[in-house]
Structure 1
């Protein structure tokens, strides 16, 4: 499975970068006023076709086809072909291709590829997460290193938050902790920064959808981290009606989570 997911993520990344490097690209608004581009649609078409050909009996949820989804199974693929469209439109580079496999409501396998950053994160077949060292060959996986969450120093935490969706409530919550360094990042890269130990804590007090988070969630879990609901700190589950997430916190296990 992971060889196919990796290859599709890289192919989608190539299609995205071709449009990203063009002089201009069409930006339109979806029904919820979020932006969509030709890159979102090209990547969605490529990944959807590849997954349906390789896994014809598996359920598939993608952001760009979300209006057609009526999910009645607990095991499914979930895809955000271009996570961080705002970052893409502003040419900031913090966008990713997200492909995940969910079993019984839990993301157990995932690929997060940031083509403009040249970073590729994925879970192996045994569930361990790795970061592959580029350059990348779509057919043959290259050298990869296992990634693991940090052992946090709770007197000097490393925190990452959304670049495009950070607000006063998020800042107020982060202010409850002893923070040594605060950085902003776009898309599911925030999960990956916690997975590699580059950050200890990522709180999200804003609207997200399951396709935004599933692949990054899988990568973080495979590196020893957790993603929990903000309200009661129970595990974040998938396959919810409408695919909308509650507020959540992604963190390394050594962080003592504080109430909101």
Structure 2
């Protein structure tokens, strides 16, 4: 056997092989370094540390809301309340030890797991969370029959998490626990995409991920009976306890004197009443903080509902502290939003016209 002969190299094959290696290198490294500006399943590609897995963030949001709820329950019999001042309507704006304990459990837990995510909480400036406990992600909080994509990633700079550690604090101090919720919302570039609303006292959690999945507790919204209730154009309005007088006047002028009006606490509670057909609309007349709205907004959007200002303008969830307050009021609907919002808009236009004619 002669092993001394020269080995002949196929130049064409070498060129093709080199080209393939360059393409693979480019795909694995350069493509990953550019970051993700949209939801994108990645398969085996190397992860960008500045990208957030939305499935994991949903799981963390559910756990945070539930753990915050446990803190709310833990002091329900020993509430220490003080006042942060008064709202513009003159109502007391209370702060309790439950608000602070829930905030620390929720914010610090999420911050440890997702350190690159911007988190905005109602009690950021009030709480000392030096002794806050943490949690590990537990995928079992997702219903067994709900299947989520494993690799939905989005750039960390595009993500803002909004936390309301205790919605309906005033009602909490009055033992009106049915209105109390803890809420987490994930906004992507200002759009509410994931919403979690948890009632600590009923131990029920409602969550939705727009265009992906909803919790088992929201499946009944698809029932024909509930859909028909929500689809009728005979409005049943739910409003806040803190300023019901002004809203009642608006509702009667816009929809008629016989329109049923329910008074309730908690923005999260009121949105769920709309979701389950117990009201056709949630209407709020005055300024409201966006951490009160974001989770319910996301859930409504996932169910093809809508939440806007009273003039039917979108409500963005941006990071700028100057925009933390929604000043345009709220109208939320599961069905026929344009019809209801149009009625309110016509009322506002008519009212402004009358004011302009006054000497």
TM interval, short-chain normalised: 0.7 to 0.9
> How many angstroms apart in 2 are the aligned matches of 1:125 and 1:236?
16
- Deviation (angstroms), 1:126: 4.4
> How many angstroms apart in 2 are the aligned matches of 1:217 and 1:225?
9
Name the TM-score, length of structure 1 as normaliser: 0.84
User: What's the C-alpha RMSD, in Å, of the aligned pairs?
Assistant: 2.3
Secondary structure in 2 matching 1:198 = coil
Q: Which residue of 1 aligns with 2:40?
A: none
Residue 173 (structure 2) pairs with residue 110 (structure 1): no
Structure of higher RCO (CA pairs closer than 8 Å, 6+ residues apart): 1
Residue 241 (structure 2) pairs with residue 163 (structure 1): yes
- Deviation (angstroms), 1:114: 1.3
Unaligned stretches of 5+ residues in structure 2: 1-56, 87-91, 128-156, 349-359
- Deviation (angstroms), 1:67: 8.1
Cα separation, partners in 2 of 1:165 and 1:66, compared to 1, 3 Å: farther
Q: Which residue of 2 aligns with 1:89?
A: 173
Q: Which residue of 1 aligns with 2:314?
A: 235
Residue 217 (structure 2) pairs with residue 217 (structure 1): no
Unaligned stretches of 5+ residues in structure 1: 133-143
Q: 1:76-111, CA deviations, whole angstroms, 9 ceiling, x for partnerless residues?
A: 101010011001000101111011111111111010
Q: Which residue of 2 aligns with 1:138?
A: none
Residue 327 (structure 2) pairs with residue 248 (structure 1): no
> How many angstroms apart in 1 are the aligned matches of 2:263 and 2:299?
19
Higher mean alpha-carbon deviation, 144-153 vs 30-39, is at 144-153
- Counterpart of 1:34 (choices 84, 89, 93) is 93
> How many angstroms apart in 1 are the aligned matches of 2:116 and 2:204?
31
Q: From the two aligned structures, give the one with the greater helix fraction.
A: 2
Residue 84 (structure 2) pairs with residue 18 (structure 1): no
- Deviation (angstroms), 1:31: 5.1
Q: From the two aligned structures, give the one with the greater strand fraction.
A: 1
> How many angstroms apart in 2 are the aligned matches of 1:128 and 1:147?
13
Alignment size in residue pairs: 240
Q: Is the 8 A contact 1:111 1:121 kept in 2?
A: yes
- Deviation (angstroms), 1:197: 2.3
Question: Of the two, which has the highest radius of gyration?
Answer: 2
Secondary structure in 1 matching 2:105 = helix
- Deviation (angstroms), 1:15: 1.2
Structure 1 residue runs of 4 or more that deviate by more than 6 Å after TM superposition: none
- Deviation (angstroms), 1:242: 4.2
> How many angstroms apart in 1 are the aligned matches of 2:326 and 2:272?
19
Name the TM-score, length of structure 2 as normaliser: 0.62
Q: Which residue of 2 aligns with 1:191?
A: 271
